[in-house]
Structure 1
Amino acid sequence: MTTFEDAFGHAAEASASAPGRVNLLGEHTDYQGGFVLPTAIAQRATVSLRRNGTATHRLYSANLDQRLEVPVGETGTGFAPYLTGCLELSGVRDGLDVFVRSEVPSGGLSSSAALEVATLRALRELYGLDLSDVDLALRGVQVEHEYVGVMCGVMDQMASSLADTGTMLLLDTRTLERRALPFPAGAQVVVIDSGVPRRLAESGYNERRAQVEEAARLLGVQLLRDVSDVSRTEELPDLLARRARHVITENARVQAAIGADAATFGQLMNASHASLQGDYAVSHPEVDRLVALLQAQPDTYGARMTGAGFGGAVVALVRAGQVAAVTGPALAEYGPQAAVVVP
Structure 2
Amino acid sequence: MSSFETIFGRAPEATASAPGRVNLLGEHTDYQGGFVLPTAIPQRTTVSVARNGSAEHVLHSANSHKTLRVTVGEVGTDFAPYLTGCLNLCGVQEGMDVYVQGNVPSGGLSSSAALEVAALRALRTLYGLALDDVALALRGVQVEHEFVGVQCGVMDQMASSLADTTTMLLIDTRSLERRAVPFPEGAEVLVIDSGVPRRLAESGYNERRAQVEEASRLLGVTELRDVTDVAALDGLPELLKKRARHVVTENARVLAGLGADAAAFGQLMNASHTSLRDDYEVSHPQVDTLVALLQAHPDIFGARMTGAGFGGAVVALARAGQAAAAAQAVLASYGADGRRVVP
Q: TM-score when scaled to structure 1? A: 0.99
Report how far residue 192 of structure 1 moved: 0.4
Tell me the equivalent position of 1:66: 66
Tell me the equivalent position of 1:281: 281
Structure 2 CA distance for aligned equivalents of residues 87 and 158 of structure 1: 19
Report how far residue 337 of structure 1 moved: 3.0
Q: Deviations over 1:139-180 (max 9, x none)?
A: 000000000000000000000000000000000000000000
Structure 2 CA distance for aligned equivalents of residues 191 and 222 of structure 1: 34
Report how far residue 324 of structure 1 moved: 2.8
Structure 1 CA distance for aligned equivalents of residues 330 and 49 of structure 2: 42
Tell me the equivalent position of 1:55: 55
Tell me the equivalent position of 1:310: 310
AA aligned to 2:339 is A
Is the 1:270–1:302 Cα contact (8 Å) retained in structure 2?
yes
Tell me the equivalent position of 1:341: 342
Structure 2 unaligned spans of 5+: none
Give the match's secondary structure for 2:208.
helix
Tell me the equivalent position of 2:189: 189
Report how far residue 232 of structure 1 moved: 1.2
Report how far residue 194 of structure 1 moved: 0.5
Q: Deviations over 1:180-202 (max 9, x none)?
A: 01000000000001100000000
Give the match's secondary structure for 2:234.
helix
Do structure 1's residue 81 and structure 2's residue 87 form an aligned pair? Answer: no
Give the match's secondary structure for 2:218.
helix
Tell me the equivalent position of 1:218: 218
AA aligned to 1:55 is A
Superposed counterparts of 1:66-215, under 5 Å: 66-215=66-215
Superposed counterparts of 1:234-313, under 5 Å: 234-313=234-313
Report how far residue 233 of structure 1 moved: 1.3
Structure 1 CA distance for aligned equivalents of residues 158 and 323 of structure 2: 28
Give the match's secondary structure for 1:78.
coil
Structure 1 CA distance for aligned equivalents of residues 269 and 233 of structure 2: 22
Tell me the equivalent position of 1:227: 227
Structure 2 CA distance for aligned equivalents of residues 24 and 187 of structure 1: 13
Report how far residue 92 of structure 1 moved: 0.4
Structure 1 CA distance for aligned equivalents of residues 142 and 328 of structure 2: 41
- Runs of 4+ aligned residues of structure 1 deviating over 4 Å after TM superposition are none
Structure 1 CA distance for aligned equivalents of residues 342 and 302 of structure 2: 17
Give the match's secondary structure for 1:2.
coil
Q: Deviations over 1:283-323 (max 9, x none)?
A: 00000000000000001100000000000000000100111
Aligned Cα RMSD in Å? 0.5
AA aligned to 1:179 is R
Q: Deviations over 1:232-275 (max 9, x none)?
A: 11110000000000000000000000000000000000000000
AA aligned to 1:210 is A
Give the match's secondary structure for 1:271.
helix
Tell me the equivalent position of 1:31: 31
AA aligned to 1:305 is M
AA aligned to 1:311 is G
Report how far residue 329 of structure 1 moved: 1.5
- Percent of paired sites with the same residue: 75
Is the 1:188–1:319 Cα contact (8 Å) retained in structure 2?
yes
The count of residues paired between Structure 1 and Structure 2 equals 342
Structure 2 CA distance for aligned equivalents of residues 340 and 274 of structure 1: 22
AA aligned to 2:229 is D
Give the match's secondary structure for 1:235.
coil
Structure 1 CA distance for aligned equivalents of residues 323 and 251 of structure 2: 28
Structure 1 unaligned spans of 5+: none
Give the match's secondary structure for 2:158.
helix
Structure 1 CA distance for aligned equivalents of residues 197 and 89 of structure 2: 29
Is the 1:299–1:325 Cα contact (8 Å) retained in structure 2?
no
AA aligned to 1:337 is G
Q: Deviations over 1:78-113 (max 9, x none)?
A: 000000000000000110000000210000000000
AA aligned to 2:280 is Y
AA aligned to 2:15 is S
Structure 2 CA distance for aligned equivalents of residues 225 and 301 of structure 1: 28
